[in-house]
C-alpha cells in the first residue's frame, strides 16, 4: 500500500511561455523505454516478485524503496509537461467553437496532447508510442535484476542529458537538473548493491555517460544540498535495511553516502489554469467551480480549499495571460 502526499519532490517553476514541442520531447522521460514509468514499474514489479525477502532483506528494501521514489518522478515529469503545455491554447476566452488549436496543426507536437488528452502528460514516449509492460524486467535473479537496474539507470541518465540539451524551457531544465541528481543516486545504489553481492567493482564506470553531473548548472543546487549522496526512505516505518547497502563513499566524490529517514520536503504543485479549448477541466470551468464550492459547503468544509498549491488565490491565470500578450 501507499500513502500519497500532495507535493512534488522538488519545486518547479510556474508556467511561462508555452512549449508544446518541448513537451513532446520531455515525454521520452515519461513513457520511453528508459523513462520514469520504466524505472517505477521495473522496481515495483521486482519488489512485488522478490522471493526470500527475509533472507535478503537489505536488497529487497533497497529496490522497494527506490520504487517508491520513482512514483514521485513520474509525477515530476507530468508536472513539467503540463507546465510546458499551459498556454499553448488560449487560457480564458479560447472556447470552442473556434479554431483555437489551428496554430498547432503545423507544429512538431504530439497530437494526442491536444486531440486526445487535455494538454496533459501521457504514458507515451517522444514518438507518441505508448509505454508498454514489455519494458519491465523482473527475472527474479537478484544479480541479474540489479545488473538490469544499473543499465536502466544508465540509459535513463543518457535520456535526461539529451532532453536537457534539447529543451531549455525552465520547467524542463528544473526537471532534468533534479532527475539527473536523483537518478545518479539510484545508479550508484544498484552498482553498490552488485558490489556488495558479488564483489564486482563498477566504480570506474562512473559517470556514464562520461559527463559529470557536477557540470550541469541546474544540478548544482541539489548537489550543494547533498542530494547526490542521500537516499531518502519513502515509508512511515518500512525499508529500514537500506542502510546495509547504501553506505561507504560516493564513487565520484568520495563523500559518505547517507540515508534520510523520510521523503524530501518538496514543494506544492502550481494549480495550473483551465484550458477551455480542450475542455480541461470543462468548456465552462467556472461552472465546475461553483458546483464544487456548493458541495464543499454542504460537507461542512471551509471556504478555502484544504489542499495546498503554490499559487493560492489562483492568480496564475492572469500571469499566463500577461506572459502571452
Cell numbers at 258, concatenated: 547517507
Binding positions for a second copy, 261-300, rule CB under 8 A: 263-264, 266, 269, 271-275, 277-289, 291-292, 295-296, 298-299
Q: How far is the CB of 291 from a second copy (least distance, A)?
A: 6
Q: Which of 130, 249, 315, 318: binder of a second copy (CB under 8 A)?
A: 130
Q: Which of 93, 260, 301, 315: binder of a second copy (CB under 8 A)?
A: 301
DSSP state, residue 255: P
**Residue showing cell 533497497:** 62
Q: Which of 11, 17, 241, 252: binder of a second copy (CB under 8 A)?
A: 241
Q: How far is the CB of 218 from a second copy (least distance, A)?
A: 8
Q: How far is the CB of 226 from a second copy (least distance, A)?
A: 19
- Give dist(CA 257, CA 250) in Å, integer: 6
Angle at 246 between CA 241 and CA 251, to 5 degrees: 170
Q: How far is the CB of 228 from a second copy (least distance, A)?
A: 16
Q: Does 116 bind a second copy (CB under 8 A)?
A: yes
Q: How far is the CB of 325 from a second copy (least distance, A)?
A: 20
Q: Does 154 bind a second copy (CB under 8 A)?
A: yes
Cell numbers at 81, concatenated: 509537461
Q: Does 256 bind a second copy (CB under 8 A)?
A: no
| Side-chain-side CA neighbours of residue 276 (13 Å) | 16
Bond prior to 97 in cis (omega within 30° of 0): yes
Cell numbers at 218, concatenated: 541546474
Q: Which is nearer to a second copy, 102 or 322 (CB)?
A: 102
Q: What radius of gyration, in Å, describes the C-alpha atoms of the chain?
A: 21
Q: Which is nearer to a second copy, 48 or 253 (CB)?
A: 48
Binding positions for a second copy, 37-66, rule CB under 8 A: 37, 41, 44-45, 48-61, 64-65
Q: Which is nearer to a second copy, 108 or 325 (CB)?
A: 108
Q: How far is the CB of 98 from a second copy (least distance, A)?
A: 7
Longest distance between any two alpha carbons in the chain, whole Å: 65
Q: Does 253 bind a second copy (CB under 8 A)?
A: no
Q: Which residues contact 18 (CB under 8 A, 6 or more apart)?
A: 84, 85, 86, 87, 88, 324
Binding positions for a second copy, 175-204, rule CB under 8 A: 194, 196-204
Q: Which is nearer to a second copy, 132 or 253 (CB)?
A: 132
Q: Which of 96, 255, 258, 260: binder of a second copy (CB under 8 A)?
A: 96
- Give dist(CA 325, CA 322) in Å, integer: 5
Q: How far is the CB of 255 from a second copy (least distance, A)?
A: 18
How far, in Å, are 63, 84, 171, 274, 305 from residue 36 at the CA level? 15, 18, 16, 26, 31
Q: Which is nearer to a second copy, 98 or 255 (CB)?
A: 98
Q: How far is the CB of 248 from a second copy (least distance, A)?
A: 10
Bond prior to 205 in cis (omega within 30° of 0): no
Q: Does 310 bind a second copy (CB under 8 A)?
A: no
Residue 261 three-state SS: coil
Bond prior to 268 in cis (omega within 30° of 0): no
Q: Which is nearer to a second copy, 13 or 128 (CB)?
A: 128
Q: Does 254 bind a second copy (CB under 8 A)?
A: no
- Give dist(CA 202, CA 209) in Å, integer: 14
**Among 30, 181, 15, 194, which residue's Cα sits nearest to residue 91?**
15
Q: How far is the CB of 64 from a second copy (least distance, A)?
A: 7
Amino acid at each position: 500500500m501507499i500513502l500519497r502526499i500532495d507535493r512534488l519532490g522538488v519545486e518547479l517553476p510556474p508556467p511561462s511561455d508555452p512549449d508544446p514541442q518541448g513537451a513532446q520531447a520531455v515525454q521520452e522521460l515519461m513513457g520511453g523505454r528508459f523513462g520514469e514509468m520504466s524505472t517505477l514499474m521495473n522496481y515495483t514489479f521486482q519488489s512485488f516478485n522478490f522471493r526470500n525477502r527475509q533472507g535478503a532483506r537489505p536488497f529487497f528494501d533497497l529496490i522497494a524503496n527506490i520504487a517508491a521514489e520513482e512514483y514521485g518522478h513520474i509525477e515530476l515529469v507530468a508536472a513539467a509537461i503540463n507546465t510546458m503545455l499551459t498556454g499553448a491554447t488560449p487560457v480564458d476566452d479560447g472556447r470552442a467553437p473556434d479554431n483555437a488549436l489551428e496554430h498547432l496543426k503545423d507544429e512538431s507536437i504530439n497530437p494526442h496532447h491536444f486531440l486526445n488528452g487535455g494538454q496533459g502528460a501521457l504514458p507515451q514516449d517522444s514518438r507518441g508510442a505508448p509505454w508498454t509492460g514489455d519494458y519491465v524486467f523482473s527475472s527474479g535473479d537478484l544479480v541479474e535484476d540489479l545488473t538490469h537496474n544499473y543499465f536502466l539507470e544508465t540509459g535513463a541518465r543518457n535520456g535526461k542529458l539529451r532532453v536537457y540539451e534539447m529543451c531549455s524551457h525552465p520547467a524542463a531544465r528544473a526537471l532534468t537538473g533534479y532527475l539527473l541528481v536523483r537518478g545518479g543516486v539510484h545508479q550508484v545504489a544498484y552498482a553498490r548493491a552488485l558490489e556488495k553481492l558479488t564483489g564486482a567493482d563498477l566504480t570506474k564506470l562512473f559517470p556514464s555517460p562520461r559527463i559529470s553531473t557536477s557540470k550541469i548548472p541546474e544540478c548544482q543546487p541539489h548537489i550543494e544540498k547533498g542530494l547526490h549522496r542521500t537516499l531518502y526512505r519513502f515509508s512511515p516505518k518500512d525499508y529500514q535495511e537500506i542502510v546495509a547497502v547504501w553506505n561507504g563513499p560516493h564513487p565520484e566524490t568520495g563523500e559518505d553516502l547517507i540515508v534520510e529517514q523520510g521523503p524530501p520536503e518538496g514543494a506544492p504543485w502550481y494549480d495550473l489554469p483551465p484550458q477551455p479549448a480542450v475542455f480541461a477541466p470543462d468548456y465552462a470551468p467556472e461552472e465546475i467551480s461553483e458546483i464544487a464550492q456548493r458541495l464543499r459547503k454542504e460537507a461542512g468544509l471551509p471556504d478555502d480549499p484544504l489542499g495546498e498549491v503554490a499559487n493560492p488565490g489562483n492568480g496564475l491565470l492572469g500571469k499566463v495571460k500577461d506572459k502571452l500578450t
